[in-house]
Chains A and B, each alone.
Chain A
Amino acid sequence: MFSLTNMTKVYQRGAEKVFALNHLSLDITRGEYVGIVGPSGSGKSTLMNILGLLDVPTSGSVSIAGQKIEDMNSGRQNALRRKTIGFVFQQFLLIPTMTALQNVMMPLYFAGCPDAKKKAMELLAKVGLEKRLDHLPSQLSGGEMQRTAIARALANDPSVLLADEPTGNLDSKTADDIYTLFGNINREGTTIIMVTHNRDLAETFPRIISIRDGRLERDYKK
């Protein structure tokens, strides 16, 4: 699914060059469930941005679903992202004035999906929110907001879900429910890559990638 070879990302901070990612090589195959751990500033977010086609590496090679992203213009990158990748954020990032249903319909609208409403209703039913379609985010609990965000991430049938600390704002009971949901989604064949600070939780993942100072510290598969 993902193939990173000798990938480096350098930021310019004043006169200083910061290596956010330093000659990183990594392969992730379709259907994996991967946890990414590491202290803050280790380069986790940069890695997620590159995997999500939101950023490009300074050097090295990245291919996603067999396509080299450095050969693509931004329009094709955009199309590949829309088809392949769904994002789940720590802060949910729902549009506060739109209902759960409208929030899920938005990516379908951008993709030009003809049956957006039906599809969005199915997705919300899948995450257990079939009775919350017309609720605004402010009328939903934290867990329900994140479920809505997951339904939105699944809108265009992505092969990968990228989740950046999806339970960071939730209590542990709710967080467990969300992990169960991710587990179910993974069993249906969707690749899941999740950044987490929770080492205990990460230990339960089939594969853990640990990053420190932009380098691969440990890549552990069960």
Chain B
Amino acid sequence: MNIFTIIIDGLRRRKIRTVLAVAGIAIAAASLFSLMTLKQGYESGMRSEIENMGAQIIAVAKGCPYEAVAVIMIGGQVPATLPESVTNDIRKIPNVASASPNVYGAYKYLDLSHPVIGIEKEELALKPWWKIQGKFPENENEIMLGSVESAVFAEKSGEYKSIGDSITVTAGGKKVALKVVGILKATGSKDDYSTFATLTTAQKILNLEGRVVTVNVRVMDIGRIPDTISDIEKISDVQAVTVAQVMGTIQNLVKAAETMLLMVMVIALIIGGIGTANTMMMSVFERTREIGLMKATGASGRQIFSLFFTEGLAIAFAGGLIGVIAGSAATLGGDVVLRNIVSVMPSSSVGKITIDAIGVTLLFPMMIGAFSAVYPAIRAARLNPIDALRNE
């Protein structure tokens, strides 16, 4: 026999109330857990997307630059474009190490829309982690496919098997045959779902001749980024944002939503704690004689206290544990749900289960459990055995 024999015996005698108290905490803990994990997964996913862009400053047409960059990151299309000449203007700015123009758009193939990115070969310098099988496109109507796209096309289309084959796509209202000359090996980012072509090819098939969507800039001295931005913005119709600013904006949006939700979760947990306090109080009242008997047979006030206190912690711990399990399921499913609701999502799954989230989800309910069990446990410890034994 140990303390848990007595506690489990007590809890078993009021199964329904125990289950309800545990459920109250478990629901709140599960919500807390999935909120934390989804938020962390979203942030780290977005951060890795930004790092995969390889640029420090992004120049776009005037409008909402954050939205533009966010949309580009997930492979969407931005309506506003800049004249191609802007690239050379930016290259002339001191502190600019490289400036590479990009166009973004989409073509239709196998009845689905596929993102296409037009880049110049110097963009490769921004992405040293790229591993290319075959070669990077050099000539007109040559393309490189992301690993996932390549695999899907090879499986579903009759005409494409591997490098050297062509695919016939619809873009800008006309049919065009594109020759696959390279495959980008898996990167874990949205690049795996993209098609790459030279700037010229992309401009042509997207009807964007002479236009670019972004100019991705790397600087020589990171400390002078603010000066460089104001130099870039002197060019008419051009706006520049740093990757850090984009990340900051996303983080602020996530934080605002998170803070509100977190408050709701905390309130839910406190309500769960009140439920625990209630069931503990009932337990003390119902077991008055038993407590008297325990004291008469030699239990000290401290032992009685720890008996009931541990009982409260056990309810909270069970709630937290179920919360982690249910929350893990919700987090893994939550990625699918969020993809249908949120427009800007990183390509990797946001449903990542972290040690921090498990720790918080187990510890926070324990704290609540401790708070709610203290008073009933003190009441039990202070019971006078004579009164308790007289209670019929």
Contact = CB atoms under 8 A, between A and B. Distances in A.
Interface of A: 49, 52, 54-55, 74-75, 78, 81-82, 86-87, 89, 93, 95, 97-98, 102, 105-111, 116-117, 152-153, 155-156
A97 B300 contact: no
Nearest to B13: A97
Nearest to A110: B299
14 contacts: A52-B296, A54-B295, A78-B301, A81-B296, A93-B389, A95-B290, A105-B1, A106-B297, A109-B3, A109-B5, A109-B6, A110-B298, A110-B299, A110-B300
A41 B93 CA distance: 105
Given A49-B386, A102-B1, A107 B9 contact: no
A153 B13 CA distance: 24
Given A93-B293, A93-B389, A105-B1, A98 B298 contact: no
Contacts of A109: 1-3, 5-6
B1 A82 contact: no
Contacts of A98: 9
Contact of A89 (B6, B386, B389): B389
B388 to A, nearest CB: 10
A87 B295 CA distance: 11
A75 B298 CA distance: 11
Contact of B6 (A52, A54, A106, A156): A106
A54 B298 contact: no
Contacts of A155: 297
Nearest to B303: A110
A116 B5 CA distance: 13
Given A98-B9, A110-B294, A116-B1, A93 B289 contact: yes
A152 B299 CA distance: 13
B385 interface: yes
B131 interface: no
Given A93-B289, A109-B6, A110-B303, A81 B1 contact: no
B36 to A, nearest CB: 39
A75 B303 CA distance: 12
A75 B386 contact: no
Interface of B: 1-3, 5-6, 9, 12-13, 289-290, 293-301, 303, 385-386, 389
Contacts of B389: 54, 89, 93
A102 B299 contact: no
A159 B293 CA distance: 19
A49 B290 CA distance: 17
A117 B1 CA distance: 8
A106 B13 contact: no
Nearest to A84: B298
A213 to B, nearest CB: 20
A81 B298 CA distance: 7
Given A49-B386, A93-B289, A97-B12, A54 B5 contact: no
Nearest to A116: B1
A116 to B, nearest CB: 6
B297 to A, nearest CB: 4
B204 to A, nearest CB: 82
Nearest to B10: A97
A163 to B, nearest CB: 13
A75 B295 CA distance: 11
B1 A54 contact: no
A156 B299 CA distance: 12
A107 B300 contact: no
Contact of A102 (B5, B294, B303): B5
Contacts of B301: 74, 78
Nearest to B298: A82
A98 B289 CA distance: 15
Contacts of A156: 298
A101 B32 CA distance: 43
A54 B385 contact: yes
A102 B2 CA distance: 10
Nearest to A87: B296
Contacts of A74: 301
